[in-house]
Structure 1
């Protein structure tokens, strides 16, 4: 590693670490519930697993990364809540810094060092990357692995590159949509003798990765479980992910990509069209988005893995504008495109949906005053983290929302809150010591709270943007004295 690349990595490591510390909000429930909660249960032997783990459509390879981290903290006696919460994001920050360097070096190899600088500037200034890359989501790790894998392939480290691709497909099987065309194109450019060797190596690496996944899941599920097949069957072939919402086929092109890339969107399109060579990643990115457009359930994070490659072509276009047009106005436009992402990055990382994390800090302190505390979360599905943020083996209950049950606990409760509470807790002595709820529910349960001597002990800001009746601007904690 040259001196300037080493310095660049250290600078990016500092930037991504700051990124991790400034990220004080929750994006989607999967962030804690499909990683940290699972890892916590793997190491500390208590916790709660969502229905996906009961159905066997999630693999343990991804949460195992955080479980190793938790186990190390446990062994040295430093499994403190603050570290259990922060260190996973700092681990993501280290990986993200490596991915940033890889993106820079790939762009330098494709075009030039100056274009590499612009591509890197696009990546670190993109609001969605700042918002997502340090989160413990499978999409975040898939994005990081994408940059690292492409770097390895471009630098002729084929086996390592395919290994990264295989690992990416283990943690999220839909990553194959990206990696299959990339590897096929790479093999196409080889001569016949090398191609045959690489095909054989690819098969070997793929089989080893699959054996690893089967072995890990056998250990933690207690039986042989082919999670990749179950994942694809549930989400793709059966289309049951539509339970979480559906969008029209053009949503990614009309809303998803414009929102995720924001001011970089025009530069991405123009850069990909005007560049003369190395356009394969541009077309693979479009292919990835088009295939995801076929699926009914769509989310912004699902197209996150192609954002780094969009930054390559956006960087190419901005570099062209910067060097070709000498007038100050054009340079100001380039700077404005890059800095316009900062307000969004700051708002969504520091403010929007921060209550989900803050309320767990408050709850952890509140239950310390009780010898045998119990907590009931009267919130929509998985609105907050759980045991990974409390780190205490106490009785905690959420409203379950298994998609296969039309009349699940969540729907029963919101249909008739008082009736549900009286049925579940027929005697006042059965009531939990603490309740966690949004302020929108307080007027409905006001009399229940008074009759059962619940006092609000904490109220934390959650969000300015409320997109459903069951969510409020604030999260509240009530204690039964």
Structure 2
């Protein structure tokens, strides 16, 4: 059954392959260990250390396991974005193994039927499965906590104490509350003595603390116990509240209902019907209650209690199902237990679709790679929002490109000259000052939407999706004439944050193409003679691409992966003809390279014909010549 858990987590990963800023340290650390290796001075955390330091032990272990796959990818020239899937699947695999250990303990204590319900409930819930592939400190701690709970259920207190020490001292210090409560329960039940506890805890604690200090001091280049600094910052100084606060009971009325779904109503039933689960569930809920004292709250902070509550829900389902033949009422309750799994599935699908829109930065950079697949010597600036919503070093897949997250970027002329492309956010694509200043210089092509919130429209029966306060939509900066005299041109990719009051999606709205800037003969001549700069060469080719695409659209032809217009799906009768009318991107690239070496004076009389019209004639001639060859 652990393979089913793993495959479900993998499906969530495939649908949402990008990561958020909270995951950035561990993700960048794994990238640097795998690709920069012993080039420690270039590691990302030296330039972007974050608010508090985090341990390298988790990323180091995952990277060691992932290394053979990465080496294989390198030998096969597979780009490193696929390595991001590998490291995250390794993390999910570790959690699956730990979860299976807990499942085996559940089987031994509560029976096979409870195990089956426990599995079914877990895979139908969204948050646990979604977070299994997320490289967060809590998730690195999760497999160790699952092992600890399994050992506690089996009364194996020595490995329980060791796992607890690793979880607390290396990854998440707040786990001292949860695992400490379980230890107190064992002490009260006389299942472990204080002497026995100290004999294991003291040497294990010293070794674990020494390991994290040694490893992390090396990577951070200073004497350091990362989780100690995190504890001081978040708990003693209470500065975690700088990142937002929630009401005291938020975990109980918001986080747990969302995470547990319909299974939550079964938890108290399970506690009432199965006495053996009570101490574990009460310990978990007491941990949540105590942890609620800290004002900064996030659902992932209490992810360790979800499997515990699922065991209680599984016990309830098993008892109700076992008694289903007693009466009509019992049969109805048994049917409700099965139906609640379907409710969980619907909730999971709903939340998964929403989560897919939460990573506009990653989507924007991914589209830029596709749009500029044939362009070299690109220098792209990644804005703060883009860096927080999906962009990571695993996405720096083109060795001929330069990627920058320079936080001092002010979008002045002096700043912009260093870049050929930008990922830029703006509150409104028409009305913000930054957006307006960029529009004066750059043409735009495309946007990327992201999710903000769900609201209820009171004159409608259905909920509506509202656009995010900054709704990122990617635009490709096609060209900007910085100086008409020397023809210097730059290209940029823009991601705008759109603030709109209305909540209509406009799924079928007509797309307006970016205005086409004129191309002059001197640009083409400079390009043909090989005298163009890197920036002007890329920009001139982009102008040629625009003219080619515009010319084909005017002739009623379609362009492969064309986002500038909405193509109607042809019927069966016209399918063959539609396929013939699709112009492939590869053909456009080849045509651009041919035109880039041509002397137009030998083809057209430029005194009577404009450069643009001449290029259209060239396009038709290339088409005709290819048509003859195919015959």
TM range (shorter): 0.7 to 0.9
Written as runs of structure 1 = structure 2, the 5 A alignment for 1:56-455 is 56-69=52-65, 71-73=67-69, 75-76=71-72, 77-78=74-75, 80-169=79-168, 170-190=170-190, 195-326=194-325, 327=328, 328-350=331-353, 351-366=356-371, 369-377=375-383, 379=385, 382-391=388-397, 395-398=402-405, 400=407, 420-422=410-412, 425-426=413-414, 429-430=417-418, 432-438=419-425, 440-443=427-430, 444=432, 445-455=434-444
SS in 1 for 2:135: coil
CA distance in 2, matches of 1:240, 1:98: 35
Asked whether the equivalents of residues 63 and 87 of structure 2 are also in contact (C-alpha less than 8 Å), the reply is no
64-73 or 381-390: which moved more?
A: 64-73
Note the C-alpha offset of 1:34.
2.2
| Alignment deviations for residues 319-363 of structure 1 (CA, whole Å, 9 cap, x no partner) | 222222434432331122112122332233343315343333223
Note the C-alpha offset of 1:63.
2.2
Asked whether the equivalents of residues 439 and 474 of structure 1 are also in contact (C-alpha less than 8 Å), the reply is no
The aligned residue for residue 463 of structure 1 is 451
Q: Which has the higher contact order (CA 8 A, sep 6+)?
A: 1
CA distance in 1, matches of 2:46, 2:282: 37
The aligned residue for residue 405 of structure 1 is none
CA distance in 2, matches of 1:379, 1:10: 36
Go from structure 1 to structure 2 and tell me whether the alpha carbon gap of 1:241 and 1:101 turns closer, same or farther (over 3 Å shift): same
Go from structure 1 to structure 2 and tell me whether the alpha carbon gap of 1:428 and 1:148 turns closer, same or farther (over 3 Å shift): closer
CA distance in 2, matches of 1:10, 1:428: 50
391-400 or 90-99: which moved more?
A: 391-400
CA distance in 1, matches of 2:47, 2:246: 24
RMSD: 3.0
The aligned residue for residue 456 of structure 2 is none
183-192 or 293-302: which moved more?
A: 183-192
Note the C-alpha offset of 1:52.
7.7
Note the C-alpha offset of 1:88.
1.8
TM-score by length of 1: 0.83
CA distance in 2, matches of 1:392, 1:67: 22
Asked whether the equivalents of residues 360 and 389 of structure 2 are also in contact (C-alpha less than 8 Å), the reply is no
Go from structure 1 to structure 2 and tell me whether the alpha carbon gap of 1:399 and 1:319 turns closer, same or farther (over 3 Å shift): farther
157-166 or 123-132: which moved more?
A: 157-166
Instruction: Check if 1:29 corresponds to 2:18.
Output: no
Asked whether the equivalents of residues 149 and 160 of structure 2 are also in contact (C-alpha less than 8 Å), the reply is yes
CA distance in 2, matches of 1:427, 1:435: 11
The aligned residue for residue 459 of structure 2 is none
Go from structure 1 to structure 2 and tell me whether the alpha carbon gap of 1:360 and 1:161 turns closer, same or farther (over 3 Å shift): farther
Note the C-alpha offset of 1:309.
0.3
Asked whether the equivalents of residues 25 and 349 of structure 1 are also in contact (C-alpha less than 8 Å), the reply is no
Go from structure 1 to structure 2 and tell me whether the alpha carbon gap of 1:325 and 1:63 turns closer, same or farther (over 3 Å shift): same
Asked whether the equivalents of residues 462 and 475 of structure 1 are also in contact (C-alpha less than 8 Å), the reply is no
CA distance in 2, matches of 1:473, 1:275: 49
Note the C-alpha offset of 1:70.
5.6
CA distance in 2, matches of 1:125, 1:450: 47
Go from structure 1 to structure 2 and tell me whether the alpha carbon gap of 1:356 and 1:345 turns closer, same or farther (over 3 Å shift): farther
The aligned residue for residue 5 of structure 1 is none
Asked whether the equivalents of residues 40 and 388 of structure 1 are also in contact (C-alpha less than 8 Å), the reply is yes
| Alignment deviations for residues 267-294 of structure 1 (CA, whole Å, 9 cap, x no partner) | 1233224432242211111121112210
Asked whether the equivalents of residues 450 and 467 of structure 2 are also in contact (C-alpha less than 8 Å), the reply is no
Asked whether the equivalents of residues 273 and 319 of structure 2 are also in contact (C-alpha less than 8 Å), the reply is no
Asked whether the equivalents of residues 187 and 198 of structure 1 are also in contact (C-alpha less than 8 Å), the reply is no
Asked whether the equivalents of residues 271 and 277 of structure 2 are also in contact (C-alpha less than 8 Å), the reply is no
Note the C-alpha offset of 1:316.
1.2
Q: Larger radius of gyration, structure 1 or 2?
A: 2
CA distance in 1, matches of 2:437, 2:64: 44
Asked whether the equivalents of residues 2 and 97 of structure 2 are also in contact (C-alpha less than 8 Å), the reply is yes
TM-score by length of 2: 0.65
Note the C-alpha offset of 1:56.
4.9
CA distance in 1, matches of 2:476, 2:286: 47
CA distance in 1, matches of 2:448, 2:301: 30
141-150 or 345-354: which moved more?
A: 345-354
325-334 or 126-135: which moved more?
A: 325-334
Go from structure 1 to structure 2 and tell me whether the alpha carbon gap of 1:473 and 1:421 turns closer, same or farther (over 3 Å shift): closer
Asked whether the equivalents of residues 124 and 345 of structure 2 are also in contact (C-alpha less than 8 Å), the reply is yes
The aligned residue for residue 403 of structure 1 is none
Go from structure 1 to structure 2 and tell me whether the alpha carbon gap of 1:51 and 1:280 turns closer, same or farther (over 3 Å shift): farther
| Alignment deviations for residues 283-306 of structure 1 (CA, whole Å, 9 cap, x no partner) | 111121112210010111111111
SS in 2 for 1:85: helix
